[in-house]
Structure 1
Amino acid sequence: MIDLNALTAANAKRWNNAKLTRNFTPIAGHLIAPAAKARYQAVSAKTGVPWAVIAVIHQRECSQDWTGSLAQGDPWNRVSVHVPAGRGPFRSWEEAAIDALVNCAPHAARNKDWSIGRTLAKLEQYNGLGYAARGRPSPYIWSGTDQYRSGKYVRDGVYDPNVVDGQPGCAGLLMAMMALDPTITFTGATITPAASVKPIPAEKPATPSIVNPSKGSIGAFIANIFNVVFRRKA
C-alpha cells in the first residue's frame, strides 16, 4: 500500500529540484493555445480539475489527439477496449473527458488539494503506482527532467530498468506551460520568468537653481521682477 502523503512530499521535493533535460516548449505551446485552452477550461468548469492538469493528461494519453479519450486514448465515439474498458461511446471529446475525470479511477474530480505535490501524486495515480512501489520516480511524471534516468513498464506487470521513456513527463510539461502562461499556478509552485522588464523610473523634477528657482522662493520673486523689467524695455 503506497503512502500518498509520502508520495506527495517526495514529488514536491523533486519538483523543487527538477531541471528540464529536453525542450518542452513546442508541445507546451500547443497545450496552452487559445482554442485548446478553452476546451480544457470547459471540462475544468464541470469537474473542478485544473485545466492545465487536463491538458497534460491529454498529451500523455493520446498526444493531444482530439479523437482520443482522456481516459486511455481510445476513440471516444466507440466503446473503449483498454483500461478503463467499456466506457462510451460519447457524443464529444468533452463528454468523454468529464466521464474520465468523474467516473474513472483515480477520480480526479474528487480531489480538493491541487498543491503541486498532490497534483503530481494524483497524476501518478492516473498512470499507476508501480514506480512508487519500487521507490523509483515515475517517467509518466518525470521523463524529460533530471529526476528521471531510466526504467519503464513496457507492458502490464513487466518492468525494464534499462528502457528510457521517450514521452514528455507531466512535471516537465507543467513547468514549460507555466513559463509560457503565468496564469497557471499551483499552491507553492510558480515559475519565475527568465527575464522581466524593469519599470522605467519616474522622471525626477529639476533641482531648483538660479535659472530654475522653486515656486514661491525669493529667487522666483527676483526672477519675476527681471522678467517684467526686460519685457518693458523690449
Structure 2
Amino acid sequence: MILTYEQLQENEYKKINEELEHKDTLDVIKWAYESFGDNLVYSCSFGAEGMVLIDLISKVKKDAQIVFLDTNFHFKETYDLIDQVKSKYPSLKIELAKPELTPEEQVEKYGDKLWERQPDACCQIRKLAPLQRELDKYDAWFSGLRREQSPTRANTQFVNQDHRFKSIKVCPLIHWTEEEIWMYIRLHKLPYNELHDKRYPSIGCEYCTKPVAEGEDPRSGRWANSEKTECGLHVNGSGI
C-alpha cells in the first residue's frame, strides 16, 4: 500500500510508530520503501549521520533517490565528499538541488551577505524553497535526525507528520548516539567530511559554520553569533 500525506491521519502516525517501536533501523527503512515505493527521497546534508543512512539505504534500495540542497555556499570538502559517495555508490541517484537565484542574483536583489543580516531569509531562498520544490515530487522523505542532537529534536518519531512541507518524514536514526554513528563509520570504513576532524561536528554553509570548542554544544558552530539554531527544514509547528 502506497501512503500519502493526505491519507494519513494524526492518530495513524501513532499506530505506525507503535508498530515500528521495537524495529531496528533497517526494518524502518524497509517499511518506508514498502509504504512509499519510488515516491520516497532522502534529503541528505552529507554529515556523519548522512553517511550512515546512505550506507543503510543502499542495502535496501541500491538506486535510491537522494537530494542535496546545494546552496552554492558549501565547503569544498562537502563537494569533495559528494564525489566520493557517487564513486562508492554508483547506482544511487544523487541530485544537487539549487536555488532559483544564483549568488550574484541574490546580491543584486537583496544586497551582500544576506546570511549575516537576515539568516532566515537566506535559508528560505537557498534551502527551504529548493527543498519544497523537491518534496513536491514525492510523498515522503528520509531525514537523518537523531533525538540526542538538540532539545528541538528530542520528540522526533520514526514516522512524522510534516506540516511545513505537507509530507511524511521518516527518521530511521532517532535512537542512535553520536558514538554509535562514528563506530559505524569506522567499522564500515565509510567516507566522511574531513572537516569533522577539524572540530566541525555539524556542517552547513561555509559562511554560517564555525568550528566548535571542546565541551561546547555540537551545533553551537551553526549560525554562530546569532540566535538562530535551525535552518527551518525541521521546524514545522510541532517541534519536529
TM-score (norm: length of structure 1): 0.27
More strand by share: 2
Answer 1 or 2: higher relative contact order, Cα 8 Å, separation at least 6: 2
TM-score (norm: length of structure 2): 0.26
Question: Which one has the largest radius of gyration?
Answer: 1
